[in-house]
Structure 1
Amino acid sequence: MEKIIKISLATLLFGCLLDLPYSYYQFVRFAALIGFGFLAYQANQQEKQTETIVYGVLALLFQPFFKIALGRELWNIVDVIVGIGLMVSSFKLRNEN
Structure 2
Amino acid sequence: MKTKIQKILLLILMTFFTLISFGVLILLFDKKNEIGDFIAYLIIFTITGFLYYYWKTFDERKAKKLDSIYIKKEKKLNNIYTQNVKKLKDRYNEKE
- TM-score interval (norm. to shorter): 0.3 to 0.5
Determine which structure has the larger helix proportion and give its number. Answer: 2
Q: Which has the larger radius of gyration?
A: 2
Q: Which has the higher contact order (CA 8 A, sep 6+)?
A: 1
